[in-house]
Amino acid sequence: MKTESTKISDYKSNTTPTWCPGCGDFAVLRGILNALTELQIDSKDVVMVSGIGCSSNITSFINSYGFHGLHGRAIPVASGIRFGNHNLKVIATGGDGDGYGIGLGHFIHAMRRNIDLTYIVMNNQVYGLTTGQASPTADKGMLTKSTPTGSLEMPVNPIALGLISGATYISRGFSGDLAHLAMITKNALTHKGFSLVDVLSPCVTYNKIQTYQWLRERVYKLEDEKHNPRNLDLAIKKAYEWNVKIPIGVFYKGNQVTYEDEEPGLKDGPLVERPLNNTGDMSKEIMKEFI
């Protein structure tokens, strides 16, 4: 294994992806690999964190540290890694079931904190690994194994949630447009603060509605419309566009202060680097309070 990564092949692990041929997640993987290569980030300083689901297997396919945790819990593990060592580049990944279903609470709270990490969600509107039930982003009326008469729930809108919850880089990519996806991924990785990349990543096996074709007919780029990503009100309006026209690109970008910047405990550098030879003296001093 090389530590000095320069070529895209250096960021690839020896594990071959297990996804179905044509899966949108291949493009997401490629987008991350391209972004890492362009930014020349040392593999040893990158931690990929994921939950459980088809897309969460992505950590295995990248030559970086990986933490492949529990279903829905990528965000708190990723946040904890930042607390432990905020010199690391932390990328949390997963699917829509993982992040917007079981892990929705963590998603919102992490954005509220504006923790400096990138969250890439491979959104395909179904649970793929458990063979095709409706996910939280499934459209109302969607027919799946678990909703044979159509889903009765409104879908979660991750872009709108991000905008009202305090994330400072909110974007959507499409697996059918790799160059664009790689570009917004790269910008997310260089953004300071919580960055969301929600990727329309078709499930070719279980979602026969939101196919590449269906999406391609609808997506358009926000930058082509000269959308101003500093305009939060406009971004919220754009977040509600779906079905007829679907915007991709950067909805919002702010430069608010991060959690790590304000946390007093991190002012003296990463926790992992703190000395441990003075702890008894510290306690001895504090013990005086109890007398």
Nearer to other proteins, 224 or 268 (CB): 268
Site string for other proteins, 146-165 (x = CB under 8 A): --------------------
Site residues for other proteins, window 75-94 (CB under 8 A)?
A: 75-85, 87-88
Nearer to other proteins, 152 or 282 (CB): 282
Residue type at position 184: I
CB 289 to other proteins: min, Å? 9
Which two tokens mark 264? 């007093």
Question: Which of the ranges 22-30, 74-82, 148-156, 176-184 carries the binding residues for other proteins, by CB under 8 A?
Answer: 74-82
**In contact, 42 and 10? CB cutoff 8 Å:** no
- What single string gives the DSSP state of each residue in 56-117? GGGGGGBSSEEEE-STT-HHHHHHHHHHH-TTSEEEEEEEHHIIIIITHHHHHHHHHHT-S-
Rounded distance, CA 21 to CA 265, Å? Answer: 46
Site residues for other proteins, window 24-53 (CB under 8 A)?
A: 43-45, 47, 49, 52
Question: Which of the ranges 101-109, 155-163, 173-181, 211-219 carries the binding residues for other proteins, by CB under 8 A?
Answer: 101-109
Nearer to other proteins, 257 or 272 (CB): 272
Measured at the CA of 259, the angle between CA 258 and CA 265, to 5 degrees, comes to 130
Give yes or no for residue 118 binding other proteins (CB under 8 A).
Answer: no
Among 24, 35, 73, 165, binds other proteins (CB under 8 A): 73
Site residues for other proteins, window 235-274 (CB under 8 A)?
A: 263-266, 268, 270-272, 274
Among 68, 218, 227, 253, binds other proteins (CB under 8 A): 68
Among 34, 94, 100, 106, binds other proteins (CB under 8 A): 106
Strand, helix or coil for residue 225? helix
Tell me the CA end-to-end span of the chain in Å, nearest whole number: 56
Measured at the CA of 93, the angle between CA 147 and CA 264, to 5 degrees, comes to 125
**In contact, 82 and 115? CB cutoff 8 Å:** yes
CB 112 to other proteins: min, Å? 9
Give yes or no for residue 109 binding other proteins (CB under 8 A).
Answer: yes
Residue 247's φ and ψ, nearest 5 degrees, are: -75, 140
Nearest partner of 155 among 109, 207, 190, 110, judged by Cα:
207
CB 263 to other proteins: min, Å? 6
Buried b (16+ CB within 10 A) or exposed e, 104-121: bebbbebbebbbbbbbbb
Question: Which of the ranges 58-66, 157-165, 172-180, 238-246 carries the binding residues for other proteins, by CB under 8 A?
Answer: 58-66
CB 281 to other proteins: min, Å? 7
The residues of the shown chain that bind other proteins, judged by CB under 8 A, are 1, 3, 15, 18, 43-45, 47, 49, 52, 57, 59-60, 63-70, 73, 75-85, 87-88, 105-106, 109, 263-266, 268, 270-272, 274, 276-277, 279-284, 286-287, 290-291
